[in-house]
Amino acid sequence: METTRKRPRPYKQPTLMTRQFEFITGSDNLTSALKQMLEFINDNLVANVPAINLLFKSKIILTELLTNALKHSFSRYTLVDIAVEDNSIVITKTDHGMPLSLISYANSSENRIPITHDILHTLYAIPEGKDTIRFGCEESTMGDLDAVEKIVEHFGLIIITKAADKFVYHYNVQTKANKFTVTLNF
């Protein structure tokens, strides 16, 4: 019996283009910052990627992250790091402000904790270790509506979670840095 061996494929180093944007917190900077970030993503996507869908999701995510910085961070500036790889876009927003109140769920023994609820979705905090939570979202069922008055509203987190493949929040106690990391796979 003759066996054939496949030749090993040469390792291809993933393409990685990164850029850091400093968003000076002010509503007059939002449009220009968003435009620059989306142009960077568009310019660095590989040719066979469905750019329209990814740019739409990126715009939703970046708009919500920057709006969040305007409303809640109380920092003079926010850093947004964008990495465009062969198979994903990773957007990381870092600011130095008060921690997201949901960080108290990070060390919970529960697998997932409902944090907001509307007629369409339930958003969950999923503990991922010390001071880190991942967000998950499921469509609501009619039975879910019974406890709606007990859950606080975080609609922006639902928007990001639904648009992303992975959405994680980490709070660094030492540096007081809030770090939101969003991954879009393609």
Question: What's the one-letter identity of residue 147?
Answer: A
Residue 140: what are its φ and ψ, rounded to 5°? -80, 155
16-95 is classed in which CATH architecture? 2-Layer Sandwich (3.30)
Q: How many angstroms separate the CA atoms of 152 and 116, rounded?
A: 5
Q: For the whole model, what pTM was predicted?
A: 0.82
pLDDT digits (tens, 9 = 90+) for 63-86: 999 988 888 777 788 999 999 998
Residue 164: predicted pLDDT: 98
* Of 38-42, 120-124, 153-157, highest mean pLDDT: 38-42
Buried-state track 120-150, b at ≥16 Cβ within 10 A, e below 16? ebbbbbbbeeebbbbbebeeeeeebeeeeee
- Domain residue ranges of the chain, discontinuous segments joined by +: 16-95, 101-175
Judge whether 125 and 167 are in contact, CB under 8 Å. Answer: no
Band (pLDDT 50/70/90 cuts) for residue 105 is confident
